[in-house]
Structure 1
C-alpha cells in the first residue's frame, strides 16, 4: 500500500523531472530549513532544499533526524492541504495537523507546500500519483468517514459530489486514459492549479504562471521533428551506406531539448507549431552532423548508449554521412520558404550561419588546447569556449530561430535571449561534463570517463590544475599528453581521484548551480516582454531544468 512518505517522494521526484520551475520556486521558499514530515499512516520523511532542488529521505534511512520544523499530518489534514482551498487557520484542525518550529520557519514551510500543491496539482503525473494514493486508502475518503473538527465554512454542497473534491474535479477535467493528442488539444496546453475561482481569496492568489509537463512536451516536440526529418530523408539508394546512417543518431534516444526550445519560443511569441517544426528539423540535422564529426575528432566510442557512427561503420562513411546531414539541413532550412515566407526564412538562415560559425570557433579553441596540451587557468576561458562550442546551438540559437519563425526579426528583441540562455547553456554543459565522470552510463549515454580519455578541458580539469600540488599537475600533464589510443581507464581513474581529492567535482557542481540561477534571474528580467503563455512556461521549465537536473 502506498503511504504518505511514498506519495511525497514520488511527487518531488516527478516534479524534479517534469516541472523543475516548481521545485526551484519551492526550494527558494523552504530555504535552509530542515523539515521532518510525519504522516497518519506512521511513515515519515525528512525534506531539505539543496541548492535549487528538494531532497526527500525516508526518516528511517536518515543518519541525522534533527529538524527545524516538524509537521504531523493525518489523512484529513493531508487531504485539505492537497485541495488547497482553506486558509492555514482553517486547516490546522485539532488532533489532525500539528506543526512545531519558529513562526518564521513555519510560515516558510507553509508557503513551500502551498506553492507545491497549487502549481503541481495541474500536472497529470501528479494527479495520477495522488489518485493512486487515494485509491489505495479508499475507505477513509467515504462521506462521513472523516470527523469534522470544526464546521466547514464552504457549505455542505461542496462535499455532495465527491469525497476528495480536488481529485474528482480533475478526473472530470482530464478523464483518465484519454491521450493528450487524441483529444487534439494544443501541444502546449496549459496546466493550471486546481481551482480557477479563488481570486477573491487574496492570500492564496498565485502569479499568472502556467506550468507544463516538460518531459511530455519535449517528447511531443522531438517526435514531431523526428517524423519531419525521416519524411524528408530520401528513401532511394544508397540506403545502407548513406541515408540509413543519416537517420541513425536522429532516432536514438535523446532529450529533444533543441526542438522544444524552437517550437516553444515560436508558440510563445504567437506562432504555430508548424511554423517552427521545419526550422527545428534543420537545427537537429546540423546538430547530429556536428555530433558525428565531433565523435570522430574526440575518438569517442559511444553516443546515446550505442556505438558512435564511425565505430559502427568506419570513419569514411561517418564523415560522409555527417557532411550529408549538413547539406540536408541547408535544404530543410530553405524549404521554409513555402510555409513562413522569404523574410523569416532569410532570418533563420542568418541565425543558423551565425550558430555554425560560433560552433566551429568553439571547437577550434578546445581542439587547440588539447593539441598543445594546454590547460587554461580561468573558468572564464571555459565559459567562452563552451558558449561558442555548444551554448549557441544548444540554447541560444534555438530560441532565436523559434522567435524568427514566429515573425520576430527585431535584433534588439532577439538579443534579449542571449545572456539568459548563455548562462543556462554553460551550466548545462558543465553538468554534462560532471555526468561523464560520476553519472550512470546508461543515463548519460556516453562512455564513462570518456572526457578524461579525450583530454577535454572541463571546469573540473581547470580547477584541478589550479589547486593541485606541482607534482600532481606534472603527472596530469603527462597523462593529457598521451594519445587517446595509449590511455586506459586506470589513467582516467587516476585523474578522477586527483580531482576528487582537491574538490574539483563539488566545485563544478556549485559553479554550475550559480550560473543556472543567474540564468533563471535573467530569464525573468530579460524575457518579461513575452506574455505568460504555455509556450513561455516551457521555456521557464527549461531555464530551471539545469538547477534540478539529477547528478
Structure 2
C-alpha cells in the first residue's frame, strides 16, 4: 500500500479529492467525467505543482507527468485546456457565493484552450463544486490542505487564534458557510437531471462535529457511499449475529459460523437491499433482517465455493476448510444456509405473511440461479472446456453471482417495502444484470493485477483454480497454433498440480494478447449500458435518497480504480 501524498501542493489536493470522490460519491465523478470526456486538462497551481486531469471511461484520472507516473517512458500528450490558479483563484474554487465571472479575477485565473472544451471543463468543475462540497471527507481533505499549506487561505500557520466562533458554528469557516446556505426555493421543487445524475445545491453531511445515518436526514439526492455502506453493513452484521445461537457445539459449529461474516466485505448487498426498500417508501429498518438473510446465504455459498475451488484464502485469511478441515467447513456452510432461512421467516412478525412469502419466493429464485451458475462453471472446468464467446460467461456470471450480489438484493429490498408486482420488480433485472457482470469482470481483473490486501484472495488464484474468466476466453480466442497446446496443458492440470509460475505464464500470455485491456474496456461498456438502463427502467421510482444510493452503487462499478 503506497503512503498517502502529503497535502502540501495543489496537485496533491486534486489527486486526493478525486480518489476520495471515486470511493464515496461515484455518481458525482461519473457526471464530471461525462463533461470531460475526450479532454486532457493541464492544471498549474500557485506552488509550482502541476497535474493532468482526464476522463477514462466514467472515471477521473490524475497524472503527474513530472514524477514520471503512468507514462511508461512515453511523453504524455499536450493538454487540450490549461488552467493556472494563483492563491486567490484557488481559495474561490469551491465558493458558490460568487458568480463564475466574479471568480475569474484579473491576472489570477489563466485559462487557455478551445472555447467548447473550456466550457466543458467549467461544467465539470461546477458539478464537483456544487455536489462534492457538502461531503465531510472532502471538507476534511481541504481542511488538511489549509493546515499544510495555509498561504492560499490568507493566513499563516502561526497566526493569532481566530475569534471565538458563534454558538452554532463548527469552527471551520468553509463548513459554517455551507451551514448558512439555503436552497433558493425553500419550498422545494423537482431536482434537475444532468447526464443522468441529479444536481442540487450542496447539502451538508457533516456539521463539523458528527454525522448521522443517511436515512435520518432530510431528502437529498447525493450520499456519501462509503459511510452509507458502513452504516448498512454494521446494522446488518448486528442482525446476523443475533441469528447465530450461543449454545453447543460452539467450537465445531457456531463459532465457525461467525468466522466468515466477521471478515466483513464492502457491504454492497446490505446497502442495495436497504436502499431499494427506502426508494419505494419503506422504512430502512424493515429491510435489515432480509439483508442479514442475504449475507448468511452469501457466506454459506462462500464456504462451499472455497471447497469446490480449492481456494486457500478468503478476505486475507485462510479459508475455513484449510484451517478446520473439509468436513466441518461443509457442515458450517449448511448451517449458514439454514440460518438464512430462519432470518427470512423472522420477517413474519414485522412484515406479515404476504411479504414474507414473497421474500421466500425471491430467495428460492436467487439460490436456484446461483447453483445453476456454479454448475456451469464447474462443468467447464471438469470437461476442460473454455467457452468460445463472452455471452457464455455473461450467462454463468449472472447466474452464479449477479443474482445474489446485485439483482436479488434490489428485488428483496423492494419486497420489504411492499412491492410484489412482478413487472415492477423486474425493472431491476436488466440494469443490475449488466452492472453485475461488469462488477464481476472487474473482480476477476483485480485477482490478476490487484493488491492482495484489497482483493482478499491469493494473487492469481483464479488462474490456479482454472476459472473461466473473460480474460481467459479472450486469450483462447487469440492464441496462435504454437501457443495453444501449452496453454491447454497448463489449464487442464488440477489445482494441486499447478505452481505459481504456471499461473504467471498464463498471465503473461494474457498481457501479450491484450486480454486484460479488453476486459477493462468490456466492463466499462457493460457498466455504461447498465447505468443507461437504470435511468430508463427505474424512472418510475421518484427521486429520493434511497434511489440516489442505488444510483451511487451503479456508478461505483464504473468509477472504482483497477
The alignment's TM-score, normalised by the length of structure 2, stands at 0.88
Equivalent residue in structure 1 for 2:45, among 39, 50, 55: 39
Structure 1 residues 301 and 247, CA, compared in 2 at 3 Å: closer, same or farther?
Answer: same
Instruction: Please say if 1:432 is aligned against 2:443.
Output: yes
Q: Do 1:282 and 1:333's aligned partners in 2 also have CA atoms closer than 8 Å? A: yes
- Of 230, 249, 252, 1:241 maps to 252
SS in 2 for 1:71: strand
RMSD, matched Cα: 1.9
- 2:61 is aligned, of 55, 59, 66, to 55
Change (3 A) 1:360 1:31: same
Which of 152, 177, 180 aligns to 1:169? It is 177
Which runs of no fewer than 5 residues in structure 1 stay unpaired?
Answer: 144-160, 193-209
SS in 2 for 1:24: helix
Query: In 1, Cα distance between the equivalents of 2:172 and 2:323?
Result: 56
Whether 2:391 is the aligned partner of 1:380: answer yes
On the 8 A contact 1:428/1:546 being kept in 2, the answer is yes
SS at match of 1:32: coil
Q: 2:191 is matched with which residue?
A: none
1:549 Cα deviation (Å)? 1.5
Correspondence 1:501 to 2:512: yes
Deviation per CA, 1:125-157: give whole Å up to 9, x if none.
0111122223444465459xxxxxxxxxxxxxx
Q: Which residue of 2 aligns with 1:510?
A: 521
**Distance in 2 separating the partners of 1:264 and 1:89:** 39
> Could you say which residue in structure 2 is the equivalent of 1:83?
95
Q: Which digits, 9 at most, give the CA deviation of each residue in 1:497-523, with x for residues without a partner?
A: 111111100000100010001011111
Contact 2:170 2:209 in 1 (8 A): no
User: For residue 199 of structure 1, what is the aligned residue in structure 2?
Assistant: none
1:114 is matched with: 126
2:29 paired with 1:23: yes
Q: CA deviation at 1:78?
A: 2.1
What are the residue-to-residue correspondences of 1:43-192 with 2, within 5 Å? 43-62=49-68, 63-64=75-76, 66-138=78-150, 141=153, 166-170=174-178, 178-181=209-212, 186-187=214-215, 189=217
- Cα distance change, pair 522–133 in 1 and its aligned pair in 2 (3 A): same
The secondary structure found in structure 1 opposite 2:258 is: helix
How big is the shift at 1:73? 1.1
- Structure 1 SS opposite 2:93: helix
TM-score by length of 1: 0.90
Provide the rounded CA distance (Å) in 2 between the counterparts of 1:190 and 1:298. 46
Find the residue that maps to 1:81 and give its secondary structure: coil
Question: For 1:464, which of 470, 475, 483 is the aligned residue?
Answer: 475
Aligned equivalents of 2:216, 2:260: Cα separation in 1? 26
Q: Deviation above 4 Å: which 4+ runs of structure 1?
A: 137-140, 161-166, 171-177
Shift in alpha-carbon separation, 1:446–1:342, aligned structure 2, 3 A: same
1:197-236 superposed matches below 5 A: 210-236=221-247
- Does the CA-based 8 Å contact 2:30-2:59 persist in structure 1? yes
Q: Cα gap change, 1:190/1:525 in structure 2, threshold over 3 Å: closer, same or farther?
A: farther
- Report the alpha carbon displacement of residue 481 of structure 1 after superposing the two structures with TM: 1.3
Counterparts of 1:140 and 1:381, CA distance in 2: 56
Cα distance 1:334–1:162, how it changes in 2: closer, same or farther (>3 A)?
closer
The corresponding residue for 1:356 is 367
